[in-house]
Structure formats: C-alpha cells, structure tokens
Amino acid sequence: MAVSRDDRPVTGTNRIRKFPTGANYAEVLQHPELCFRDPDLRHGTVQQSAVLGPKAISGNFASVFSITARDGQRYALKCFTRDTSAIGTRYTVISTALRALDTGSLSQPWPVRFEFLEQGVLVLGDWFPVLRMAWVRGTDLISWIDRHHHDPTAVHTLADRFLAMTGDLEDNGIAHGDLQHGNILVAEDGTLRLVDYDGMYVPALKGEVATENGHRNYQSPQRGAADFGPAMDRFSTWLIHLSLLAVATDPSLWNQLHEPQGEYLILSESDLRSPATSLAWPLLLGHSDQRLRTAAARVQGFLGQPCSTLPRLTADTLTSPTSRHKRKAGTTTPTTTGTTRGATDPATPHFGTLPAWMVDRMASATAAAVPTPPALAPTGFTGRRPRDLTAAAAALLSTAAPGVLSVTTGQPEGYLPAAQGAALLASAAVIGIGRRLRPEYRTAHQRIRELRRRARELKDPAGAHQRLEQEMQKLDDATAKEGAVADKRIRTLQTDLRVGLARITMELNRRTDQPHKRKAELSAREQNMIAAALEPAVRRHVEAKLRATSIQEARSLPNMGAKTVGALMRAGIRTAADFTGVSYSQSQGTGNRVAYFIHAGGHYIRVPGVGEARASALDAWRRSLEQRARTSAPAKLPGPALARIRAEIATLRARYDREIKQAESKAQQDRDVLQKRITDERQRLTADRQQRAMETQRKRADLLQRQKQLSGAEAERARMTGALSTARTETRRNLGVRKYLTFLLTGH
C-alpha cells in the first residue's frame, strides 16, 4: 500500500520535493522581514489584496507577488508551487542565454530580466527558490484587444510587433513554450513584453524535456513533451498572429468569436481539436477578406502536422507579394494605413460592421464612382403596351357607351347630355391614369421630385448638411446595434453548440454505462458458468476418489491406532467419503470440546475415543485428499456444453454491443442534427449581417453624395433651379396629355 506522510514540505535528498502552496506563500509573505534573506525583499512592502493579505497572481505552477523595495524599485516575486525538475539549473541557463542577447538587435525590449534566488523564501523552516524580476507594467493580450479591437491600425501594428518579437526568438534559437494571452504583455508604448520563462527553450537546453505543454487554447493537438525545442512555439505563433490579423481585418470577429472572460483569443481548444464541428473556422475560412481566408486555411492545415515540421512565421510566409507591399506601406506610416487598406477592395462589401475608418473610405470611393444622374430630358413616349391600348379602348368605349345605351334601352332623351358629360370625364380620367402609369412619365416625375428636394436642400445647405449628418449617424447607430446583436447571437451559438454536444455525450454515457459494465463482467461470468456446469462431474469424481480411500489409510497419521480406526468403522466411517467435516461443541460437564463427525447424510456422529485433536487431524487428512482429488478432476467441459455456454455469452456480448452501438448512432444523429441547426443558424446570421452591411453602405454612400453636393451650394442652386424648370417644361412638352393621346392613337 502506498502510504506517505505529508504534514509539511519535505526536503532532503529525495528527487521529488514538495513545494509550498500559494496560500503557504501568502501566509509567510505577511512577514517579509522573517521569510526573506535578500535585503531588498526583507525591507520591502508586499502588495496586499482587499481581504486575503498578500495579493497573489497565480498560474498553474507558481504564485507571483508584488514587492516594492525601500528605494521604490518594484519587483515581481515568483514563488513556485510545483517542483519542476532542476528548476534552478534551467533558470540559470535561460538567464545566461537571455543576457547574451544583443539587445540592440532586438525588435523591442521584450525580455524581462530576472534573478534566480536559490534561498529565496523561508517557508515552514525550509528555504525555497524564488525568481525576482523587475515588475512589468503592461496589459495582457486579451484585455488589450478588448480595449483596442475597434482600432484596426493599432491591432495591425501589434500583429507586426508580435511577428517581430517571435522573429527575435527564432533568430536566436529560443522558444518560449507557453505563448498565450497572459504571458504577452503590451507596454504603454505599445511594444511587447514576454513573461514567464518556466518552459522556455534555449539552445543550451538541447536534449532536455519539456516541463509544461503550454496553454490548452494555444497549442497544437499534436504537441507533446518531446517537442521541447526551438520550433515549439511555431503553432501558437501562427495562431496568435492569425487572431490578431482577423481582429484587425474585421473587428466584429472579436465580438463574434471571443467569449467575454474566455481564456482564449478567437479560437479555443475545441476549435483546434475538432475543427469539423467548430463554428469559428467557417467564419474565418469563408471571410470576404482574401488575405484572412488564406491565413486561416494555412493555420487550419497545421492542425494535423507534427509541431516540429511547421514553418517559421515570417512576413514573407504570410501573404502574397502584392498585398505585402501594401502592408509595408501601412506599417511604416501608420497614419495612412487606413487609406491603403480601405482602398484595396472597395467593391467587395465587407460582411462585418464596418470600422469607422473603412466606412468613410468605402463610401467616398463609392460616391465617386456613382456619377451625378445625367440630365437626360424626357424624349417622349415610346413603345405602346397592352395597358395603353386598354386605356385607349376604355376611353373610346366610355365616350360612346351612353349613346349606344340610350338607343338600345330606350332611355329618355334628357339622359344623354348628362351621361355623355360623365362619360367624357371618365375617359379623361382613364387617359390621365394611363399616362401616369407610363414609365417615361414616372421617371420624369421622380426626377422632378429629386430636383425639388435638392433645390430645397440648397436653400439651406448648412441645415441640410446637418440633417444628413444626423441621418448618417442614425444609420450607423442602427447598424452598429444590429451588428452587436448579431455578433452576440453568433457568439452564443458556440456556447449552445458546446452545451448541446455535452448533453448528448451525457445522455450517451447514461445509456451505455450499464452495457459497458455488464460487458466487462462477461468473462468472469463465463468462468462462473463453466465452473457451475463442471461442478456435478467434479463432485462425482471427488466422491469416487474419497470412497476409494479406506479409513484404514488414516493409520499413517500420528496418534491414530487400530483401535481408533476400528471405532471409526464401527461408527459407520469406513472411507474418507463417509464424513464431510467435523464440528465441535462445548461439553456441559467437563468443559472440554467434543468432536462430532458430520456424516455425508447430514447427521452428526460422535466416535468414542476420538477427541478434538484426532478429529481435526482426520478432517485435515480428508480435506487434503479432497484437494488432491480436485486437481485430477475433469477440468474441461464436454464440447457441446462448453459451446452452449460460449454461445450464451456471445449472445449477451452481441446484445450489449448492439445496445452500445444503438446509443452511439443515436448520439451521432443527435450531434449531426444539432450541428446542422447551429451551422444553418450561423450561416443565416452571417448572410443577414452581410446583407445589412451592404444595404448600409449603399444608403451611406447615397447620403454622403448628397452631402458632397451641398458644397458650392450657390452655383449648384442656380443650376438646380434651371434644371428643374427645364425638366418641368420638357415633361410638359414631351409627356403631356396631348402627346399621350397622339401616342395612343399612332404609337408615336
């Protein structure tokens, strides 16, 4: 049995050393003057939490505390809660490697200096190592993106900095081992700091093994301890870069894919492990931005590849040469990035909520592309349609009808003029309606309305400008609001899917639990059945053997004379088969124990002269005979009997297998249905979003154009008034009632 004492941390020569817990450290740090040897720390001030004393920031292997020395220098003190193999040696090697870096050649000051103190902190009488580092002021990656995802320029710049930092690592043969949001800090100037070097690889550690496998939401499913080496960051590097690129390209992706409080950027472990059921991949792989699509496909392709074979992330591996060129321009002059990016593809509608900078660019591009409506004068009616002919016929008929009626029905004379007047009115109306229904007339009128509106706008350009501004604001707000709702819905679909799949698994486990258990018991059950089937034959065999052993043979036992054997025979015990055991009872008189032989028939026999000692010797003799007989007993069932049992077991096994299989296929069906429902919903939402974004852009472009036309209002107004009166005259001249009548009759 494994027993161990664990009252307190054990030190000594054991390879394994139990380290204090986070709370142990938090307790001793209440008295820095007692637990530290280092003078800076001894006299330092430990940052406190509101309630629980020294404030810890904990990871899976350590808790970090903040201590400010008397000279104002603030330190991060890392206290280890798990013994990682040869922690001190590793840190010394890592420290040497980092100090050897030529800081001038680095893209940014990402390394954080640290000092490994072997006798760092005293806990329960033992010294434990600590890592003393300068406190890094910075924001972790998730908080930073939360704050900046609406600023694509900033996110792009960060992605470039990340690329540069990982480039520094690669150039020096270093790998961090646990690249993730918590270990990448963004300093105030926007450059990056890399913290937590527990799992770091430097060339001098070649041949060692990993102590950790990195954060589950950032690592390739293929990563294992053997991947400890210069290439171990490759997957997480690509993944983080893809995430930054995605957010920079389409900020709404952050809202759609990053769950608030989720410990990942936009892709999590389940997306990496089961891309087929992921909702995130389709959004990235089907994105309207080609560069993002390509990058996503690339990273998805890495999922099945061994980590060591992944390529290094470099600017050149990222994109095609042309778009890279544009990116470069953006990088060097961040202020113009928006322009460059926005102008790349104005014709392709973006499917996310458009970032402000992009809407502007796209709208003006669209506005410029749409020419001012040409001042085409209406040229007259062309092409009679059945409707026109119907109108003509109706007019003709209604004019003639009253006369015809009065003739045929004998109406009074006075009826005719009144009826004829009404009929004329009716035909005028029919012609009027016919004319108005003509597309030429409608176009001309719409144009007049439009011109009137513009004329009105031009009367008060400032007011109109403001009204348009408000309209645009309203449009933007509405779009943003709708977008946010859709984003949230897309995000919650991921939760729905996760929870739904979990429920299906739970149900599957419930249904297969029993059959699995029963199946596991089958081989034991088979053995029992065989044993039970053999039992009669074994009993007969043992019985025969015992029967064949005369009680005379018991004379070989010590203290067993002819007299005793004679008494046994007289009592009916002639062979070893004549009794099955011995029983004792306390004698009332003497207090001695009295022995009884249990006859094969079940009754008890007392044999004079056979006391406890002899009886138990005889019992043991009989039992050893039985034992021996059993070993020679038939051990194999006759073929047919064995086959029967095997068949029975096989039937049971098949039944359990069937039950399990049924449950599994039911679960698979349920999964497919759920997956389809969620995927359809996701597609619908995405399509709606895309549709709405296009609509908004169109409306916005329209409003922008109107706003643009307001400049130079005076000249425009004069032009507009002229255009308006021309349009009216033209319309009257070319599309008047007379023209229509002529058109109706002649077709010209």
Partner 1 sequence: MPYTAEISRTNPGCFVFLVDQSASMSDPMGTGEVTQQRAKVVSDAINRLLTELSVKCAKEEGVRDYFHVAVIGYGHNHVGSAFQGALAGRDLVPLSEVANNPARVESRTKKVPDGAGGLVETSVQFPVWMDPVINGGTPMTRAFGYADSLVANWVEAHPSSFPPIVLNLTDGESTDGDPTSAAIALASHATADGAVLLFNLHVSGSDGTPVTFPDSEEGLPDTYARLLFQMSSVLPSHMRSYAASQGHRVSETTRGFVYNADITSIVEFLDIGTRATELR
User: What part of residues 481-520 is at the interface with partner 1 (CB under 8 A)?
Assistant: 495, 498-499, 501-503, 505-506, 509-510
Q: Which residues contact 248 (CB under 8 A, 6 or more apart)?
A: 152, 155, 156, 159
Minimum distance, C-beta of residue 55 to partner 1, in the bound complex (Å): 7
Q: Which residues contact 157 (CB under 8 A, 6 or more apart)?
A: 190, 331, 334
Which of 43, 55, 150, 293 binds partner 1 (CB under 8 A)? It is 55
Q: Which residues contact 92 (CB under 8 A, 6 or more apart)?
A: 116
Which of 30, 274, 336, 587 binds partner 1 (CB under 8 A)? It is 30
Asked whether position 152 contacts partner 1 by CB under 8 A, the answer is no
Asked whether position 47 contacts partner 1 by CB under 8 A, the answer is no
Query: How long, in residues, is the chain?
Result: 748
Minimum distance, C-beta of residue 35 to partner 1, in the bound complex (Å): 8
Q: Which of residues 157-216 bind partner 1 (CB under 8 A)?
A: 178, 180, 182, 199, 209-216
Asked whether position 746 contacts partner 1 by CB under 8 A, the answer is no
CB 204 within 8 A of CB 228: no
Tell me phi and psi for residue 711, to 5 degrees. Answer: -70, 145
Tell me phi and psi for residue 191, to 5 degrees. Answer: -85, 165
Q: Which stretch binds partner 1 (CB under 8 A): 108-116, 217-225, 364-372, 528-536?
A: 217-225
Strand-pair category, 114-123 with 74-80: unpaired
Minimum distance, C-beta of residue 10 to partner 1, in the bound complex (Å): 6
Pair of tokens at residue 552: 């005379």
Asked whether position 11 contacts partner 1 by CB under 8 A, the answer is no
Q: How far apart are CA 472 and CA 478, in angstroms?
A: 10
Asked whether position 526 contacts partner 1 by CB under 8 A, the answer is no
CB 302 within 8 A of CB 222: no
Minimum distance, C-beta of residue 538 to partner 1, in the bound complex (Å): 33
CB 217 within 8 A of CB 264: yes
- DSSP 3-state assignment of 581? strand
Which of 38, 41, 44, 61 binds partner 1 (CB under 8 A)? It is 61
Q: Which stretch binds partner 1 (CB under 8 A): 11-19, 389-397, 514-522, 642-650?
A: 11-19
- In the chain, the amino acid numbered 210 is A
Residue nearer to partner 1 on the CB measure, 83 or 487? 83
Q: Which stretch binds partner 1 (CB under 8 A): 44-52, 186-194, 332-340, 707-715?
A: 44-52
Residue nearer to partner 1 on the CB measure, 99 or 137? 137
Asked whether position 694 contacts partner 1 by CB under 8 A, the answer is no
Minimum distance, C-beta of residue 116 to partner 1, in the bound complex (Å): 19
Q: Which stretch binds partner 1 (CB under 8 A): 54-62, 342-350, 449-457, 617-625?
A: 54-62
Q: Which of residues 624-683 bind partner 1 (CB under 8 A)?
A: none
Which of 1, 276, 462, 562 binds partner 1 (CB under 8 A)? It is 1
Q: Which of residues 372-431 bind partner 1 (CB under 8 A)?
A: none
Residue nearer to partner 1 on the CB measure, 199 or 338? 199
CB 216 within 8 A of CB 274: no
Q: How far apart are the first and last CA of the chain?
A: 110
Between 66 and 95, how does the x/- string for binding to partner 1 read (CB under 8 A)? ---------------xxxxx----------
Residue nearer to partner 1 on the CB measure, 153 or 278? 278
Asked whether position 448 contacts partner 1 by CB under 8 A, the answer is no
Residue nearer to partner 1 on the CB measure, 52 or 369? 52
> CA-based diameter of the chain, in Å?
163
Q: Which of residues 252-281 bind partner 1 (CB under 8 A)?
A: 259, 261-263, 268-269
Residue nearer to partner 1 on the CB measure, 140 or 151? 140
Minimum distance, C-beta of residue 85 to partner 1, in the bound complex (Å): 6
Residue nearer to partner 1 on the CB measure, 10 or 715? 10
Q: How far apart are CA 193 and CA 108, in angstroms?
A: 8
Residue nearer to partner 1 on the CB measure, 452 or 498? 498
Q: Which of residues 111-150 bind partner 1 (CB under 8 A)?
A: 122, 124-125, 127, 140
Strands (E), 102-211: 114-123, 126-134, 139-140, 184-186, 192-194
- DSSP 3-state assignment of 517? helix
Q: Which stretch binds partner 1 (CB under 8 A): 46-54, 153-161, 457-465, 539-547?
A: 46-54
Minimum distance, C-beta of residue 182 to partner 1, in the bound complex (Å): 7
Minimum distance, C-beta of residue 83 to partner 1, in the bound complex (Å): 7
CB 136 within 8 A of CB 187: yes
Q: Which residues contact 201 (CB under 8 A, 6 or more apart)?
A: 174, 175, 176, 177, 228, 229, 230, 232
Strand-pair category, 56-58 with 62-68: antiparallel
Q: Is 167 left (phi over 0), alpha (psi -120 to 50) or beta?
A: alpha
CB 47 within 8 A of CB 66: yes
Q: How far apart are CA 316 and CA 117, in angstroms?
A: 42
Residue nearer to partner 1 on the CB measure, 87 or 359? 87
Asked whether position 738 contacts partner 1 by CB under 8 A, the answer is no
Minimum distance, C-beta of residue 122 to partner 1, in the bound complex (Å): 5
Pair of tokens at residue 302: 């890495």
Q: How far apart are CA 222 and CA 208, in angstroms?
A: 19
CB neighbour class for 204 (10 Å; exposed up to 12, middle 13-18, buried from 19): middle
Residues in the interface with partner 1 (CB under 8 A) total: 78
Residue nearer to partner 1 on the CB measure, 199 or 349? 199
Residue nearer to partner 1 on the CB measure, 67 or 693? 67
